[in-house]
Structure 1
Amino acid sequence: MSDQRITYKDAGVDIAAGNSFVNMIKPLVKSTYRPEVMADIGGFGGLFSLNTSKFKNPVLVSGTDGVGTKLKIAFMADRHETVGIDLVAMCVNDIVVQGAEPLFFLDYLATGALLPEKAAAVVKGIAEGCRQAGCALIGGETAEMPGFYSDGEYDIAGFAVGVVDRDHIIDGSGIGVGNRLIGIASSGLHSNGYSLARKLVFDCMGLSIDSELPGTGRTVADEFLTPTRIYIRSILNLLKDFTINGIAHITGGGLLENIPRILPRGCQAAIHLPRWERPALFDILQKAGNVERDEMYRTFNMGIGMVLVVSEKDAEDMIDRLTGLQERAWIIGEITSCSENSENIVLVES
């Protein structure tokens, strides 16, 4: 038996680095606080007081997600301040589709060896995402796991909780024939389809992370690390004055897989492809790998980050409101009737 005294740091876990990291992120976390937050960072659990006076019958809505292989782009570019925005966006955009206002957020960050500055950059993005969504970052967990992750790499996951009055839950049951579909522009790839996008750009096109992506005027890193758009404030603004019958967040599965999730029986969504401005990025990716049309629309958002199903009489007014809220939006289709065995979404080339 050796007389050498082995420490946790010798095994790869630096407690001092963890403490330094917590001190770095405290002001970032506090910048997201809402009046309902009841405890400072550092406790075993986050405390949040639910203001039930705003709701007749409050229902909590929760969501969890990660950023996926978009993190590989962050590692390649050594840029980490935007993936935290993506993390928040993927969670809060999922719960607002049911009409819920996001209340608070928790994060989980795991890495092989904690580098406080890099981890703090990630949390800076998470805090920015929370501010954009109007929710509080009330807790999280940082796990240092030597030998589990490659050097310099990490993974992140997020958890969001929101609230909606039971009478105002948006579940798609109000969708009917004649309703219009409003598509709200994405900011790019968002956080889906990166396994295919990386193959197309790095393998098929032979580009590097710092190469200019032809046709965009931007580098691969700039284009691929554009943060996911957070739609919370715009959708909650619409809900003050308009009825929305259904909302689909266009995440993994694209338009083809996500819109059908909210459609009642007998309803089909007809999506007219020429009706919105598709970013050049998607045409570049499609051409690079000769990707079939439906594969593109099943993998990527194709320039549409959120789809709202609304009455025909409200559609144009809602477009005007969204424009005033600095969103780009278009009427991209309508709800038609269909038989039991028909496809519940069709892509129309005109």
Structure 2
Amino acid sequence: MQQSRSDSYAAAGVDITAGYKAVELMKTHIAKTMTAGALSDIGGFGGLFELDLTGITRPVLVSGTDGVGTKLKLAFLMDKHDTVGIDCVAMCVNDIVCCGAKPLFFLDYIACGKNVPEKIAGIVSGVAEGCVQSGAALIGGETAEMPGFYPIDEYDLAGFSVGVVDKEKVFDKNTIKEGDVIIGLPSSGVHSNGFSLVRKVLDVENCDLKAPMAELGGASLGETLLTPTRIYVKTILALMESVSIKSVSHITGGGFYENIPRSLPKGMTAKIKEADVPVLPIFKLIEEKGNIPRREMFNTFNMGVGMTVVVGREEADKAMAALEAVGEKPVRLGEIVAGDEGVILW
């Protein structure tokens, strides 16, 4: 690529040689994500993946796409860019595993005002870490330098993932019945949703993001808000080996009230004991500073539960034990009852 250079393009604000340098810097991170199916080196026109269907009778491909949203504003303010890639991967693969699919590969898209190779490589290092955590290969991506469209110090980050599941193993919410148990998997924090409200309520642009806060156990607001989204893929895939999962819900924007009903059949409602929700200090801070009604908190944030799983009552104890065996700290949130309320918090 040494012959590829355009002074005219550089004068317009796009340095194509910076793109080549960024690719070279990110290759080490990408190498960590390579799985048996990944066939192509980074930098080609398309990402190749050889599908291994051993043990799968009726393969179903499952895809998911998402971005990081305005959480990126915190990364800009903190000048810390090596964790938001984990968020990007998490938002995609956590959705994929909600039907029992194993993520196969991931592609990212970064659009920026100015391509600073070291910053881009830092972003991709987070993407690679998310891929390692989920078992997906990072087989390609795109970095677009767009001067005049994005401020020179800002960027957007989005991604796309594909997974596979045997059709007979897809979680079937229609098997849910009264008395089934709802298990919650703890979140690591705000994850990647509700940050427009968070930024407004906590006035992040005008406060000291690095100062320790007693309300957060001595952690700073900046590091607390930038804590990456948890990736639940390996946990759910392991649980599938022990019990029959009926449904899974990824608690993202819309909180409990929007996401949990999506994993329930008509006529069934999730009855959850609010006192059993492991509400994290950051949510208490947001609620207090913004004077936000408790119902709206549960309708916007994960409140400390990033994913819920429904299993039969007869398998609840076994599921809890299996989750604890893989290092989880599951909580029994409640049970399924008849009704069309979707979610009842009591």
User: Smaller-chain TM-score range?
Assistant: over 0.9
Aligned partner of residue 175 in structure 2, secondary structure: coil
Q: Deviations over 1:238-261 (max 9, x none)?
A: 101210000000011111100011
Residue 215 (structure 2) aligns with: 215
Residue identity matched to 2:30: V
**In 1: Cα distance, 2:66 partner to 2:302 partner:** 17
**In 1: Cα distance, 2:257 partner to 2:327 partner:** 26
**In 2: Cα distance, 1:308 partner to 1:46 partner:** 33
Aligned partner of residue 9 in structure 2, secondary structure: coil
Q: Flag structure 2 segments of 5+ consecutive residues without an equivalent.
A: 1-5
Residue 291 (structure 1) aligns with: 292
Q: Within 5 A, what are the aligned runs for 1:170-189?
A: 170-189=171-190
Q: 2:343 pairs with 336, 342, 345, which one? A: 345
**In 2: Cα distance, 1:120 partner to 1:210 partner:** 24
- The runs of 4+ residues in structure 1 deviating greater than 4 Å are none
Q: Deviations over 1:27-55 (max 9, x none)?
A: 21121011111111111101101112230
Q: Within 5 A, what are the aligned runs for 1:33-52?
A: 33-52=34-53
Residue 143 (structure 1) aligns with: 144
Q: 1:280: how far off?
A: 1.2
Residue identity matched to 2:227: T
Q: Flag structure 1 segments of 5+ consecutive residues without an equivalent.
A: none
Residue 3 (structure 2) aligns with: none
**In 2: Cα distance, 1:276 partner to 1:337 partner:** 21
Residue 231 (structure 2) aligns with: 230
**In 1: Cα distance, 2:274 partner to 2:145 partner:** 46
8 Å Cα contact 1:70-1:194 kept in structure 2? yes
Identity over aligned pairs, percent: 50
What is the root-mean-square deviation in Å for CA atoms of aligned residues?
A: 1.4
Q: Within 5 A, what are the aligned runs for 1:10-49?
A: 10-49=11-50
8 Å Cα contact 2:278-2:305 kept in structure 1? no
Aligned partner of residue 115 in structure 2, secondary structure: coil
- Which is further off, 212-221 or 28-37? 212-221
8 Å Cα contact 1:202-1:208 kept in structure 2? no
Residue 129 (structure 1) aligns with: 130
Residue identity matched to 1:262: S
Aligned partner of residue 10 in structure 2, secondary structure: coil
8 Å Cα contact 2:186-2:330 kept in structure 1? yes
- Which is further off, 171-180 or 67-76? 171-180
What TM-score do you get using the length of structure 2 for normalisation?
Answer: 0.96
What TM-score do you get using the length of structure 1 for normalisation?
Answer: 0.95
Residue identity matched to 2:215: G
Q: 1:206: how far off?
A: 6.3
8 Å Cα contact 2:277-2:303 kept in structure 1? no
8 Å Cα contact 1:255-1:301 kept in structure 2? yes
Number of equivalenced pairs: 340
Residue 335 (structure 2) aligns with: 334
Residue identity matched to 1:96: V
Q: Deviations over 1:100-154 (max 9, x none)?
A: 0000000000001100011100000000000000010000011011100112100
Residue identity matched to 2:209: I
Residue 193 (structure 2) aligns with: 192
